[in-house]
């Protein structure tokens, strides 16, 4: 079991869109984008829509959370991985499953009923807050940052 070359782990409830598939991929120099999401792993229509956003020089993989846990350690060192998840709870599942995540970029968590807005792009509920606290206890730094160059804010100071 090797240590995968994870360049960045991002929470974005939109998963792959222009900001992720172009701006962040280019900034990071990633050559593999992994979407770890149980629903999207089985939804070819959503996968093909996300594939259209990303350059064909970047590999795209859509795995369930469990498959990500099971195979990420088998990644080649040449694979520069950008890992995208939908929720902090999903990140916690991966972390507790042994995926070596030490830093999380929090991009977008849209406002919806039952959530409190803490920045213009991030809204959280009690489950999200509990997951962020647990990630913090596990040594994972979580910072809100929409795009490279924007000032990052530690989420623990906001929740």
38-97 pLDDT, tens per residue?
A: 999 999 999 999 999 999 899 999 999 999 999 999 999 999 999 999 999 999 999 999
Mean pLDDT of the chain: 95
For residues 90 and 37, give the distance between their C-alpha atoms in angstroms, rounded to a whole number.
8
* Degrees to nearest 5, angle at CA 4 with 51 and 62: 25
Active site residues: 17
Distances in Å between the Cα of 56 and the Cα atoms of 2, 15, 21 are 26, 18, 11
pTM value is 0.94
> According to the model, what pLDDT value does residue 107 have?
95
What tokens were used for 68? 């990500």
Question: Could you say which of 3.40.190.10, 3.40.35.10, 3.40.50.720, 3.30.479.20 is the CATH number of the domain covering 6-156?
Answer: 3.40.35.10
3-state secondary structure of 17: coil
Asked if residues 132 and 124 have their Cβ atoms less than 8 Å apart, the reply is yes
- Does the pLDDT of residue 1 top 60, yes or no? no
Structure tokens at 129: 């807050």
Ordered by start, the domain boundaries in the chain are 6-156
Beta bridge partners of 81: 6, 32
Q: Are 99 and 68 within 8 A, CB to CB? A: yes
């Amino acid at each position: 079991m090797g240590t995968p070359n994870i360049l960045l782990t991002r929470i974005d409830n939109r998963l792959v869109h222009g900001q992720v598939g172009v701006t962040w991929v280019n900034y990071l120099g990633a050559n593999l984008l992994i979407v770890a999401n149980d629903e999207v792993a089985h939804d070819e229509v959503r996968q093909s829509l996300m594939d259209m956003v990303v350059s064909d020089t970047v590999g795209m993989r859509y795995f369930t959370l469990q498959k990500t846990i099971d195979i990420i350690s088998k990644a080649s060192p040449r694979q520069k991985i950008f890992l995208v998840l939908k929720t902090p709870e999903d990140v916690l599942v991966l972390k507790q499953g042994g995926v070596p995540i030490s830093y999380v970029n929090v991009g977008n968590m849209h406002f919806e009923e039952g959530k409190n807005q803490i920045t213009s792009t991030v809204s959280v509920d009690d489950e999200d807050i509990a997951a962020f606290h647990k990630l913090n206890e596990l040594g994972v730094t979580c910072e809100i940052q929409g795009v490279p160059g924007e000032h990052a804010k530690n989420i623990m100071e906001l929740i």
